[in-house]
Amino acid sequence: GGPAGLTAAIYLGRAGVETKVYDPAVPGGMVFMVHQIENYPGFPDGISGRELAAKMEAQAKRFGAEIVQVGVKKVYREDKEFKLDLTDHQELMARAVVIATGSNPRSLGIPGEQELLGRGVSYCATCDGNFFRNEDVAVIGGGDSAVQEALYLSQICKTVYLVHRRDQLRAKKILEQRAADRENLRFQLNSLPQEIIGKDQVEGLKIMDKDRGKEQILKVTGVFIYVGMKPETDPVKGLVELNPDGFIKALENTRTSVPGIFAVGDVRGKPTRQVASAVADGCNAALAIEEYFLEYR
């Protein structure tokens, strides 16, 4: 039900393919939670995630796609078709399946994280960084994603604290060097996040020096968390091939290791996780499905 799945439904419905979109939540996926999207083409003044999701849902329905507020527990291969075991105890047969279940950021599990989500706590600097222009922020994590997003934030924020629990970053050396060269990017290594502080908005991040046990509070208005992503692959685990990080291995045309199953959006192993790239996946999947139907009549 996110941008990738709804785009696939739009294209398939328009092509006259009977299409059902299964999602136990409100259509829109993670986008539904984004306050303002400013980098999606066609909306120069930006658009809320909720409004964009509603427009995509309406467009899919206009072309005949059926939105079903039910989840899919498991997908089974039966000859050239697939059986879907649904959460309402029903079953469905399908000629092709698009897996658009997305992924969720791994949480730290510290006080204030969930309470201040969307009010200074974010898992996407590209999405929300502009709201913290000329302010002090913290990025938690030490991998490539954390350092890349810290570099991005350092261009628009006053000070960026890069907080990592080890004494060395895990990111590529070239990224680490770029970060070290930024005067307003400060490393906080060997530091464990303890609490995100604030009442209605983020006001600070409490960290503890892992070696000395000393605590300090970084006065920041934004906390960006990058401690990994967890792809939602349960429906097809054991059926399609996954990469070492647990994401579905799929070609650029979204075809997986199983003919007839296609992976789109954040559940697919790829470097970019944006609304625009999810929409591209949805389009590619629909076209690939039409080709697949010609191959397996």
Residues tagged active-site? 124, 127-128
How many Å apart are CA 142 and CA 65, to the nearest integer? 42
Residue 20 in contact with residue 66, Cβ under 8 Å? yes
Strand segments, DSSP code E, in 166-258 are 185-188, 191-197, 204-209, 215-218, 222-225, 229-231
Helix axes 3-14, 49-62, angle to 10 degrees: 20
Is the backbone of residue 75 left (phi > 0), alpha (psi -120 to 50) or beta?
beta
How many Å apart are CA 293 and CA 280, to the nearest integer? 20
Residue 207 in contact with residue 179, Cβ under 8 Å? no
How many Å apart are CA 139 and CA 177, to the nearest integer? 17
How many Å apart are CA 24 and CA 119, to the nearest integer? 26
How many Å apart are CA 200 and CA 120, to the nearest integer? 9
Q: Look up residue 94 and give its amino acid.
A: A
Residue 96 in contact with residue 289, Cβ under 8 Å? yes
**Per-residue tokens: 228:** 């990994």
Q: What is the dihedral of CA 37, 42, 45, 49, to 10 degrees?
A: -30
